[in-house]
Structure formats: structure tokens, C-alpha cells
A and B are shown apart, each in its own frame.
Chain A
Amino acid sequence: MIIAFFFLAGMTLVSALGVVVSRNVVHSALFMSGSFLGIAGYFVMLNAPALAAFQVLIYVGAVTVLMLFGIMFTQNPQARRYRTIINRQFWAGLFVAAGVGAFLAYVLYSEDWGGVEAGNGPRQVADLGRDLLGVSQGAEVFTLLFEVVSVLLLVAIVGAIVISRRKSGAGADREAEQ
């Protein structure tokens, strides 16, 4: 388990760094999917196999493809120099992010979490489903949250269509006509 933990930690963190420092945008997207795969492995280790399946389906599958479509529509993928892809806050951003990471790691590591042991998660998919629908004890609020999220997804779908719809006489259409 420790070996798997360190392997997944290396995979996740190195891929996350690759997203930030890669000069090619497509490589950033592929590094991002590698990082998501590492997180899916962690979900398997943490007794949440259904969540790992969601992670692979939604993030490694759908979000990566969506990102690649976004790249395809908005830029030609080619390696660029660092001066053109990174703004002037490189060192200030590194300072802030390292401070945030060190502070979070220190607090989370030094906090006394009491009697913790692995194996409390909803290993069965049926348990996760009961929690998510608010049927099980102590999870009643999820009835409301589930409905709110479903409405939110509908709003997001409609909003995405409305925002990205091509209006006549705007932007690229106008340039194409000229």
C-alpha cells in the first residue's frame, strides 16, 4: 500500500507540475489527465471504487476531451517560449503558492485528528448511493443537495449553449463576411 501511495503521489504531483510548466498546451491537457488518473488510484485506495469510476469517466474522459476541444478551437498547438506563456508574476506566484502549500501541509500534518483508521468509507456502491440520495442515517441534507446539483447542471447546460451560440453579425461571422 505504501508503494502504491508513493507511486501515485509521484504520478499526481509530477503530472500537476507538468500542467503548469509545459510549453505545449496539448501536453498540459495530457498531463492533466495523468494527474486525474493518479487521483482515481487514490480513490481506489480510499475504499471509494465507484468514485474512482466517476473520476475516470468524467475527468480523464470527458473533461480532458472538452479541454482538447477548447484548445482545438482557440489556438494552434505549438510549443511557445516561456516568456509568451507565463506572465510577470512567476516568482511572486511561486512564492505565494509555496507559502500556501507549506502552510496547508503544516496545518494538516500537525493537527491531531484523533483516532483515525482506514476503512470507514462507503466501500459498497449501494452505500454511496444511499448517502447520495439522503436515505441513510445522518445524510438527510443530501436529498436537497442532489436536487440543487441537478438544477445547477441543467442551468449550466443551457448557459453554455446560450453563451457559445454564434450570433449573426458578431465576431468571427462579421470578419468572415468582410
Chain B
Amino acid sequence: MPPQIQQVLDAMTATPPLEGYLVVGAFMFAIGAWGALIRRNAVVIFMCVELMINAVNLTLVAFADYLPNAGGLGASYAVLVIAIAAGEIAVGLAIVLAVFRSRRTVNVDEVTSMRG
């Protein structure tokens, strides 16, 4: 096997660096933040919040796997984050349903009854 092909194969089977996971998590967080800022629909805003939570989870688990002194505890924190996010989604969708029932809309810029 020629050495060039061997080099390419080695590069393809190498372990990705920690920074790769962190950068993917950062961009996913940014995309979620963008969606939460620009969308009108409350359900889509919840989806974007979930994207941000997942980006943070990815960062936690990447640190847990790569940092030798972390003891793998980031994965346990990720479990707690998943539980809290599930509770947040349940309560948030209940609030969206309650708002829709009384105002017939879920667009967040039309629900202005608490504006000062």
C-alpha cells in the first residue's frame, strides 16, 4: 500500500480533537440562540431552546470524556440537564396551551397583556 493512501487512512481513522466537539457545540448554541431571537412562534422558540440545551450537553459530555481529572462526571450532569429540560418543556407547552386557549394565538409578539 502506498504511503500516501496509508496517510489518508490514518487521518480518517484518527480520533477527533476535543476542540472539534466544542466548536460544533458553540455553533449549535449560536443557531439555537438565533432561532429563539427571530422566530415568532412560541413552539419553535421552545425547539430552539432545546437546541441550545443539547449544545451545552454535548460540551459537557465532551469535557467528561477528554479531561482526565473530570472523572466522567459531565455525563452525570448531562443526565440532570436532560431531566430539567424535560420538565421545562412540559411546563412550557402547558403555558403555551393555556395562552392559546385564552388568546387564540401563540405568536409571542402578539401576547402583550403584561407589557408595562
Chain A residues engaging chain B, CB cutoff 8 angstroms: 1-3, 5, 9, 12-13, 16-17, 19-20, 25, 28-29, 32, 35-36, 39, 42-43, 45-48, 50-51, 54-55, 58-59, 62-63, 66-67, 69-71, 73-75, 84-87, 89-90, 92-94, 96-98, 100-102, 104-105, 108-109, 113-122, 127-128, 131-132, 136-139, 142, 145-146, 149, 152-153, 155-157, 159-161, 163-164, 166, 170-172
Inside 8 A of A171's CB, which chain B residues have their CB?
98, 101-102
Interface residue B111 (Cβ < 8 Å from any Cβ of A)? no
Asked whether A20 and B80 contact (CB < 8 A) given A71-B43, A73-B97, A119-B65, the answer is: no
1/0 per residue, CB under 8 A from A, across B68-84: the answer is: 10111111101110111
Mostly, the B contact residues are helix
**B10 and chain A: residue at smallest CB distance:** A2
Which residue of chain A has the shortest Cβ distance to B88 in the bound complex?
Answer: A156
Contact between chains at A46 and B21 (CB < 8 Å):
yes
B12 at interface by CB-CB < 8 Å: yes
Interface set of B (CB-CB < 8 Å, partner A)? 11-16, 18-35, 37-41, 43-44, 46-48, 50-51, 54, 57-59, 61-62, 64-68, 70-76, 78-80, 82-91, 93-98, 100-102, 106, 109
Of the residues A35, A51, A119, contact of B75 by C-beta under 8 Å: A51
Indicate if the CB atoms of B61 and A16 lie closer than 8 Å: no
Chain A residues whose CB sits within 8 angstroms of the CB of B90 once the complex forms:
66, 156-157, 160
Other A-B contacts than A9-B24, A164-B98, 6 sampled, CB-CB below 8 A, are A13-B27, A19-B31, A19-B48, A75-B106, A96-B33, A100-B29
CB-based contact B41/A63 at 8 Å? no
